[in-house]
Amino acid sequence: GQQLNQSPQSMFIQEGEDVSMNCTSSSIFNTWLWYKQDPGEGPVLLIALYKAGELTSNGRLTAQFGITRKDSFLNISASIPSDVGIYFCAGLVKGAQKLVFGQGTRLTINP
């Protein structure tokens, strides 16, 4: 089936540093999404990407939809303590409304 490979699996950074994570797939997706999940909560949508090559920002977050439609990256600038959590990429299956998720990137920030 369709799988998303997300990397890195975990990151340990200092507060104020920039963060970069990415997601790749052997399948083409028409939409890429990035979610953040806090412990014990459901995922919350951060950024949605609808077109190949699209670059979208949401505050300190920037994400891009790869030209091949098989990858995406998420950058976080000037990290702060509340950025701690697990970040998931998700691809929308063509012709359906269901999402396929990556395995997540766990972000830990040292103050």
Partner 1 sequence: EAEVAQSPRYKITEKSQAVAFWCDPISGHATLYWYRQILGQGPELLVQFQDESVVDDSQLPKDRFSAERLKGVDSTLKIQPAELGDSAMYLCASSQGQLYGYTFGSGTRLTVV
Does 103 engage in binding with partner 1 (CB under 8 A)?
yes
Q: At its nearest, how many Å lie between partner 1 and the CB of residue 16? A: 28
Could you tell me which stretch among 13-21, 62-70, 73-81, 90-98 binds partner 1 (CB under 8 A)? Answer: 90-98
Q: Which of 4, 19, 63, 74: binder of partner 1 (CB under 8 A)?
A: 4
Q: Which of 11, 19, 88, 107: binder of partner 1 (CB under 8 A)?
A: 88
Q: Which of 81, 97, 110, 111: binder of partner 1 (CB under 8 A)?
A: 97
Both tokens of 82, joined, read: 């509340």
The full 3-state SS of the chain, as one line of letters, equals CCCEEEECCEEEEECCCCEEEEEEECCCCCEEEEEEECCCCCCEEEEEECCCCCEEEECCEEEEECCCCCEEEEEECCCCHHHCEEEEEEEECCCCCCEEECCCEEEEEEC
Residues that bind partner 1 (CB under 8 A): 4, 6, 31, 33, 40-45, 48, 50, 88, 90, 92, 96-99, 101-104
